[in-house]
A and B are shown apart, each in its own frame.
Chain A
Amino acid sequence: MKNKDTVSYIIAIILSIVFIYPLYVLILVTFEPVYLTFGRIYPFQLPIILTLSNLINSFHQVGLIVPVIRSVEVAMLVSIIAVLLSIPAGYGLQKLTSRVTNKIILLMFVVNMMPGVVVAIPISVYFIKLGLENSIFGIAFAQELVVLPLSVFIMLGGFRALPKDIENQAHVDGARLHSIFSKVLIPLVKVPILITFLIAWMTSWDEFTYAVIISPINPTFPVKLYDYVSRGEPFVASSFALLVTVPVVVLVIILQKYLKGEYLSGGLNGV
């Protein structure tokens, strides 16, 4: 028993290191003088000299602030659209027999099985015709391609996890469709809604392919960041990246108690 515990701890620690290490390097690059990052000769990446100059430098990069705001706008739009569409979709799919539902879900993921570039180019042609290129709506609509299948899948799981007959009971109690939704169903699926929102938000936040093809002139944050890196200013870029990552990490930590696995697997009932 004791041995088993020790082994689990060791595995957990190793996994944590694997996941946290990139973040650690990001922090290191941000707070170390540039010459140390290049001239690293010691085996362990321990900080020797710390500096704030990279951070202060990045603050002067006004060019990065507009893309961050744009990214926030896009992410908000994407997650609101995802929630609004996935609620009725999940509700409807839950009513079908699971054989049919699972086929539809599979079909929805087909777009995600293709490389984004292949899908993005023909879309951008249409968006130019519609005047959606270089607009936050254009990016948001394109990103829904990635976000929606997962959102619908999560909401489907949420609706399937509801107690049987709750909706019937509301019918019998005299409720009409809008009261059934507003008074009974929506309050019961608010955790899946929150998860959908969060995952949509985070997916949009670092989505690159659709953003760069649809809106190259008014770039989102990841696109602009890539500009900086390719222009040879990785240190400014990484410092700034760290700054905008902090609020996202804090948000996830606050909401993590809702991020339970059951809603991500609930959609697979009756497979």
Chain B
Amino acid sequence: MEYKLELKEITKIYGEKKVLNNLNLNIVSGEFMVILGPSGEGKSTLLRSIVGIENIDSGKIMVNGEDVTNNPPNKRNIAMVFQNYALYPNMTVYKNIAFPLKMSKMPSEQIKEKVNKVSELLKITDVLDKNSTKLSGGQKQRVAIARALVREPKLFLLDEPLSNIDARTRYTSRQELKRLQKELNHTFVYVTHDQSEAANIADRVAVLHNGVIEQIGTYEEIYNKPETTWVGDFIGTYPMNFIDGSIYDYKDKKIGFRPSWVDESLNDFELEISLIEKIENNYFIHCNLGEKNIVIRSNKNYNIGEKIKVGLSKFNVYKDEKLESVIENKKEKASAD
């Protein structure tokens, strides 16, 4: 069953602010798409527009080539898991999961069968008779996912579903969600502000900033080749370092590099060490390059205040905050010069 969701030039305005600004995004069947962005940048608004509980101010939402922009939520066959799970507090777990089926007027025999099947899949059979308010955070999340899955929707939207769970459960839930998606071959759109989640489970990541998708691709692509300096700054445990391009003869341009791209065997420029962080087996060294503060990764321990000479094994060149070229293997280039 092929499924294709296209968002065409979607704009959503709250008061004076354009939360979504001519946003374009295509989602294809069977993929796990993560929408990543800082808090308050319209990620939830985007999901709510897709599912139909928020009206968009302009643009089109197309499903398999058909315009669904003005369809109400119950005509879209899209399921959504809200951030706080939104379980119906007046119902048991069973009734919660059965609710969407009941609304579609399915006979109760069939409902029972489906609810049992999905609750086995999510390992919640033993809490079916409990009231939904009496569950733990992890259980609530499973019930919410079960309720979304039971309708066999074409598209599955999740709004930061793991943000209310403790760290340990979050890690296992993440893996399970990924496994579930691959097993069922469903199309997932997952919103988060947590990069490690995105890196972990996404087939593709879309970075949302200022109401537009700044970049879309696998996490590795986005990490290694951020298309704008903003994305480089946002992605990664440490932001990408940006220094003046004149060090390598790129006048009026910026050079961007990750802490791990530093080659200590070269001596292209000099750094003064100001702070050292040890993370597992690596040292992350904060240094000053002139006025700029940059971070490099090393497996050697230095002293604070020490001056070291380093070069870059690879780097990206940015002109007017946009990626211009990717320079790999600087060593060979240097020797060829």
Hey, which bits of chain A sit against chain B, CB under 8 A? 163-166, 168-176, 179, 183-184, 187-188
Contacts and interface: CB of A to CB of B under 8 A. Distances in A.
B100 A173 contact: yes
B89 A172 contact: no
Nearest to A162: B89
Interface of B: 48, 51-53, 72-74, 78-80, 82-84, 86, 88-90, 99-100, 103-104, 147, 151
Given A171-B72, A174-B74, A174-B104, A188 B79 contact: no
B90 A179 contact: no
B90 A188 contact: yes
Given A165-B84, A169-B82, A171-B74, A187 B103 contact: no
**Which one of A164, A170, A176, A187 has the greatest number of beta carbons of chain B within 10 Å?**
A170
Nearest to A190: B90
Contact of A172 (B78, B83, B88, B90): B78
A-B residue pairs, 4 tightest by C-beta: A169-B86, A173-B100, A174-B74, A165-B86
A258 B84 CA distance: 26
A188 B88 CA distance: 9
Given A165-B82, A173-B74, A174-B151, 9 more contacts: A166-B86, A168-B82, A169-B80, A172-B52, A173-B100, A173-B151, A176-B103, A184-B88, A188-B89
A168 B53 CA distance: 7
B188 to A, nearest CB: 15
Nearest to B90: A187
9 contacts: A163-B86, A165-B84, A169-B80, A171-B74, A172-B74, A173-B74, A173-B147, A176-B103, A184-B88
A88 B103 CA distance: 22
Given A163-B84, A184-B88, A172 B104 contact: no
Nearest to B157: A172
B44 to A, nearest CB: 10
Contacts of B83: 165
Contact of A166 (B73, B78, B79, B88): B88
A165 B78 CA distance: 16
Nearest to B77: A174
Given A163-B89, A179-B103, A188-B89, A172 B84 contact: no
A168 B89 contact: no
**Which one of A172, A174, A179 has the greatest number of beta carbons of chain B within 10 Å?**
A172
B317 to A, nearest CB: 45
B88 A171 contact: no
B147 to A, nearest CB: 7
Contacts of B100: 173-174
A175 B100 CA distance: 7
A183 B88 CA distance: 10
A29 B90 CA distance: 48
Contact of A175 (B74, B78, B90, B147): B74
Contacts of A175: 74, 99, 103
Nearest to A169: B86
Given A165-B86, A184-B88, A172 B103 contact: no
A169 B105 CA distance: 18
Nearest to B53: A168
B53 A172 contact: yes
B73 to A, nearest CB: 4
A172 B72 contact: no
B89 to A, nearest CB: 7
A185 B148 CA distance: 20
A171 B53 contact: yes
Contacts of B51: 172
B277 to A, nearest CB: 39
Contacts of A184: 88, 90
**Which one of B72, B82, B86, B89 has the greatest number of beta carbons of chain A within 10 Å?**
B86
A235 to B, nearest CB: 50
Contacts of A165: 82-84, 86
Contacts of A170: 88, 99
Contacts of B80: 169, 172
Contacts of B147: 173
Contacts of B89: 163, 166, 188
A169 B73 CA distance: 10
B90 A176 contact: no
**Which one of B80, B104, B147 has the greatest number of beta carbons of chain A within 10 Å?**
B80
A173 B86 CA distance: 11
A164 B84 contact: yes
Nearest to B95: A183
